[in-house]
Every structure is written in structure tokens, then in C-alpha cells.
């Protein structure tokens, strides 16, 4: 049973990485979240509170053939949030030409979800919280620095009923960097360090707790005002903190080189390509009741290509709500990520998006994509396999005033592929091999999930 829980929970966290998310857009992107703001001296505040009610067709992300069966749910979600920052350039008025020596930003939110449906659904009511801060020291100067820290706690059920096997987890992250930009900023280079701790609240997922420390660097050389060559690289140390973890420790090295350009006032593109090499080894202490993962390594290319067309290029000035530039985006990305099912997974993703901002009164965001996730051999029972995901998210908000809006959100996510396919024709993750007293148990990884929400938001 423990192994089944590990795999089920791992997949719920890993396979939805590029899929539709129920996180509110105004928490992810300030262009959707902030209103006119409240000024207090050298700072501005952006408080808000949102209420949403909606439907989830497959709350536990179960396959139709699974037992227990898929379960739907109704959700009432209330989310207060607050952002504090030094005055933005558009609100400094006559001081726009001078950049302060210190720029600060801090934000926090609390999201409570009350669930309605069957008893196994109502038991999953929960809080999600987040807090973060960032400081930029001497920005837009030859030598500058940045420091940041944040914490996010997410509640998420596994595909099993009950509250003692949830995939509730948190992430603590912090880092700092120094940027050198001689010659008026045509060239800049940043060197930084980042540390991250990922923890899980329920057994047996605590065996997946880990730390990730990264040395980061990136550079840019502008050959035109809005075009230039790019470079980024990172070396990451991944260590699982529990001695009974089935996961292998490892290091990961990645470097990319590319070009970002604005062809006209409306057309921009990004091209990045590079190499990734991982170095996973068996966990130092292999005394575990769980089937240990066979260390596998990746040595291959990573890439990204993106095209963007700006539909409109107007930004409101003065004491008004911040919006953004309406645009159409299409692209492809190939990346490699640490995995809780096997050592790592690769992702090939085709995506498209549309952002629309109309005079600060209406905002819309449409995103969608197709992703192929590939997992190398997990253990002696589960060979390498691939799974596809299709995802669509639609968000729209009409603002009756600078502080009040009505919004709607639609999310679609479909996982295609039951899991590993063996020589005997069986499919799905084998989580319990056959014994004299019990047959083999396979976990079907396919599911379809639809979510729809209608909400009101008061914001400044």
C-alpha cells in the first residue's frame, strides 16, 4: 500500500506540472491582480479579496476504470491577498527619471476552499497560503544586487479517499544575486545562488522531502534596443533528506544560449537551445520498505522557441490600474525536471496563448497546449513509458470600476496513457506485484478533469 501511495501522489504532482492549474491568475500575474493601489508615502498597497464558486468534474484525478470511481465536487473559495511595494515609475510623477537605490516588494495571500459533495470530498476542505518578498539594491546601475524569499503551501488530495494520505506540500525558497552591467546596460551578467526545501505533510510522502541548491548565472548582450543574445546556466544539487527515501540523490547541469528579438513594433521572438546532463546515484541509505528507484541519467538537448504578436501597444499612464500589452503567443519547449516517479522526466510541449487588455475594463487570458512526458525506467517492475497531456485554461474579468470586477474561469485537463506497457500486454503503473494471496495491482494514470468557476473580486 505504501508504494501505491507514493506513486499515486507522485504522479498527481509531476504529471500536472504543465497542465491547467486552478490557481487564480491574479495571484500568478500582477497584470491581472493589481488595481489602482493605495499610496502611503513612498509605498503603495494593493489589497484584494476574491470569492469564487464552481464545479470540479474529477476532484481526485481518477481514471474512469479505477476503484474508487471519479468523484465530482462543488467548491467555494475565498482568497484575500495583499501586495506592498515601493512606488512604481508611473506613480512617481516628476521623479520618473530617477530610480531609487532600494526597491521593495512583498506579497501574501490566504485561500480557503469549502467543498460540497460526497463525504470524501467535504473532508478535503483546506487552506492554501503564500508569502514572499524581494529587494533590489541599486537597480539600473553598473553593479546591483537582489535578494528574495518566498513560501507557498498547497493542499491537494491523492487519488485515495481520506485525509491521512493527501499530497499536501510546501515549498520554501530563497536566493540572492549580483548583476554587473557596464557601459549603460548594453551588456549585463548576473551570478546568483538559490536554495529550496520541498516538504510533504502526510505519510508516506514524507520520504520524498528534499533540498535543492542551485548556482545560477545569466547574461545578455544587446545589439539593438530590444534585441540581444542571451545565455543562462545552472548547476543544481538535489538531496533527499529522509534515509528511507526511494529516490536517488543527484546533480543537474544545464546551459543554454539564445537570441531574443523585437522584429517590428508588434512581432517578437525568442530562441534558446542548450544541453542538460544529470548525475543521479542511489540514495546513500537504501534501507527502505519501498521499491527503490533505479538511478537513470539524462544527457541531451533542451530548447525553447516562442513567437509573440502584440495586438495593441497601449499602456495607461498616471494614477490608474496597471494592465499590459495584448498579445498572441505560440511556442515549443523541451525541458528536463527532477521527478518523484523515476529519477527525472522530460517534457516536450507545444503551447499557445492569448492575452487581451481593453482600456482597463476587460482582461482575458486563454492558454492551451499539448505535452508529452517521458519517464525512464522507474524500477524492476515499471519500464520506461510516456504520457500525453492536453490542457486548456480560459480566464476573463469585466471590471465595473477600478476596484470591482466579475470573472469566470474554465479549465480542462486530460491525461492520455495508462502508464507502462509490458511484454505481457498489461498497462499502468505496477504498484503491487502478484503474490500467493493477492493479484497484481495496476494504477491507471488516465483521467479527464473539467473545472469552471464564477467569481467576484474587490481590489485596489
For the cut 90, the answer to whether the pLDDT of residue 360 exceeds it is no
For residue 322, pLDDT over 70 is answered with no
The pLDDT confidence band at residue 285, using thresholds 50, 70 and 90, is low
Give the residue, 436 or 186, on which the prediction is more confident: 186
Q: Which of 89, 93, 56 is nearest to 72 (CA)?
A: 56
What is the pLDDT at residue 99? Answer: 79
Identify the weakest region by mean pLDDT among 138-147, 160-169, 356-365: 160-169
Q: How far apart are CA 123 and CA 10, in angstroms?
A: 21
pLDDT, mean over the chain: 87
Q: What pLDDT does residue 214 have?
A: 98
Q: Residue 313's pLDDT is what?
A: 52
| Top-ranked range on mean pLDDT: pick from 68-72, 204-208, 412-416 | 412-416
E strand spans, 400-446:
404-416, 429-432, 441-443
Mean per-residue pLDDT, 247-272 = 94
Cα–Cα distances in Å, from 411 out to 21, 366, 393, 398? 7, 10, 5, 19
Average the pLDDT over 296-301 and give the result. 97
With pLDDT > 70 as the criterion, what percentage of the chain qualifies?
88
User: How much is the pLDDT for 3?
Assistant: 41
3-state secondary structure of 318: coil
Task: Quick: pLDDT tens for 94-135.
Answer: 555 577 899 999 999 999 999 999 888 998 888 999 999 999
CA 330 – CA 368 distance, rounded (Å): 10
pLDDT range class, residue 92, cuts 50, 70, 90: low
Residue-level pLDDT at 263: 86
Give the pairing type, strands 102-116 and 169-180. unpaired
Q: Is the pLDDT of residue 10 over 60?
A: no
State the pLDDT at residue 19: 39
Q: Which domains does the chain have, with CATH numbers?
A: 2-459 (2.40.160)
- What average pLDDT does the segment 43-68 reach? 91
pLDDT of residue 91: 63
Q: Tell me: pLDDT of 23 over 80.
A: no
- Of 151 and 428, the structure prediction assigns the larger pLDDT to 151
**pLDDT of 269 over the 80 cut:** yes
pLDDT greater than 60 at residue 7: no
Residue 240 has what pLDDT?
Answer: 93
Mean pLDDT, to the nearest integer, of 156-185?
86
In DSSP notation, 152-206 reads: EEE----SSSSSSS---EEEEEEEEEEEE--GGGTEEEEEEEEEEEEEESSTTGG
pLDDT at 18 over 80: no
**Residue 177: pLDDT above 80?**
yes
Give 81's pLDDT tier (boundaries 50, 70, 90): very high
Which runs of E-coded beta strand occur in 93-166?
Answer: 102-116, 126-137, 143-154
> Which bin fits 419, alpha (ψ -120 to 50), beta or left (φ > 0)?
left
Question: Is residue 367 pLDDT above 80, yes or no?
Answer: yes
> Is residue 128 helix, strand or coil?
strand
Q: What is the mean pLDDT of residues 328-336?
A: 97
Q: What confidence score (pLDDT) does residue 110 get?
A: 96
Output the pLDDT for position 286. Answer: 54
Q: pLDDT higher for 94 or 381?
A: 381
Q: How confident is the model at residue 425 (pLDDT cuts 50, 70, 90)?
A: confident
Model confidence at 318, pLDDT cuts 50, 70, 90, reads very low
Amino acid at each position: 500500500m505504501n508504494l501505491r501511495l507514493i506513486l499515486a501522489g507522485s504522479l498527481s504532482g509531476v504529471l500536472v506540472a504543465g497542465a491547467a492549474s486552478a490557481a487564480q491568475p491574479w495571484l500568478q500575474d500582477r497584470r491581472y491582480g493589481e488595481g489602482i493601489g493605495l499610496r502611503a508615502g513612498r509605498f503603495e498597497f494593493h489589497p484584494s479579496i476574491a470569492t469564487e464558486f464552481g464545479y470540479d468534474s474529477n476532484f481526485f484525478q481518477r481514471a474512469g476504470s479505477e476503484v474508487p470511481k471519479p468523484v465530482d465536487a462543488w467548491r467555494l473559495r475565498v482568497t484575500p491577498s495583499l501586495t506592498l511595494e515601493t512606488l512604481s515609475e508611473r506613480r512617481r510623477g516628476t521623479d520618473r527619471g530617477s530610480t531609487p537605490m532600494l526597491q521593495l516588494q512583498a506579497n501574501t495571500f490566504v485561500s480557503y476552499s469549502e467543498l460540497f459533495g460526497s463525504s470524501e470530498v467535504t473532508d478535503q476542505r483546506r487552506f492554501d497560503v503564500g508569502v514572499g518578498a524581494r529587494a533590489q539594491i541599486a537597480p539600473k546601475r553598473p553593479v546591483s544586487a537582489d535578494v528574495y524569499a518566498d513560501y507557498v503551501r498547497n493542499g491537494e488530495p491523492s487519488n485515495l479517499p481520506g485525509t491521512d494520505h493527501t499530497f499536501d506540500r510546501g515549498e520554501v525558497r530563497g536566493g540572492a544575486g549580483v548583476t554587473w552591467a557596464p557601459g549603460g546596460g548594453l551588456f549585463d551578467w548576473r551570478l546568483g545562488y538559490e536554495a529550496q526545501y520541498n516538504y510533504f505533510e502526510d505519510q508516506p510522502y514524507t520520504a520524498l522531502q528534499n533540498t535543492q541548491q542551485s548556482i545560477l548565472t545569466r547574461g545578455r548582450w544587446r545589439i539593438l534596443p530590444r534585441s540581444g543574445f542571451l545565455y543562462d546556466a545552472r548547476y543544481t544539487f538535489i538531496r533527499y533528506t529522509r534515509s528511507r527515501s526511494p529516490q536517488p540523490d543527484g546533480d543537474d547541469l544545464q546551459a543554454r544560449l539564445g537570441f531574443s528579438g523585437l522584429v517590428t513594433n508588434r512581432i517578437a521572438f525568442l530562441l534558446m537551445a542548450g544541453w542538460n546532463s544529470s548525475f543521479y546515484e542511489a540514495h546513500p541509505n537504501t534501507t527502505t520498505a519501498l521499491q527503490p528507484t533505479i538511478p537513470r541519467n539524462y544527457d541531451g538537448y533542451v530548447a525553447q522557441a516562442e513567437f509573440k504578436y502584440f495586438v495593441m501597444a497601449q499602456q495607461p499612464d498616471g494614477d490608474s490600474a496597471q494592465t499590459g500589452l495584448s498579445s498572441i503567443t505560440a511556442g515549443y519547449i523541451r525541458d528536463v525536471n527532477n521527478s518523484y516517479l523515476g529519477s527525472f522526466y522530460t517534457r516536450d510541449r507545444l503551447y499557445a496563448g492569448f492575452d487581451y487588455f481593453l482600456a482597463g475594463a476587460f482582461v482575458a487570458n486563454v492558454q492551451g497546449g499539448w505535452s508529452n512526458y517521458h519517464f525512464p525506467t522507474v524500477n524492476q517492475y515499471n519500464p520506461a513509458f510516456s504520457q500525453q497531456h492536453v490542457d486548456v485554461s480560459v480566464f476573463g474579468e469585466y471590471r465595473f470600476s477600478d476596484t470591482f470586477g466579475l470573472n469566470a474561469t474554465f479549465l480542462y485537463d486530460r491525461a492520455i496513457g495508462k502508464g507502462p506497457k509490458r511484454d505481457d500486454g498489461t498497462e499502468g503503473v505496477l504498484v503491487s506485484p502478484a503474490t500467493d494471496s493477492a493479484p497484481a495491482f495496476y494504477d491507471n494514470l488516465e483521467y479527464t478533469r473539467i473545472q469552471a468557476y464564477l467569481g467576484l473580486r474587490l481590489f485596489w
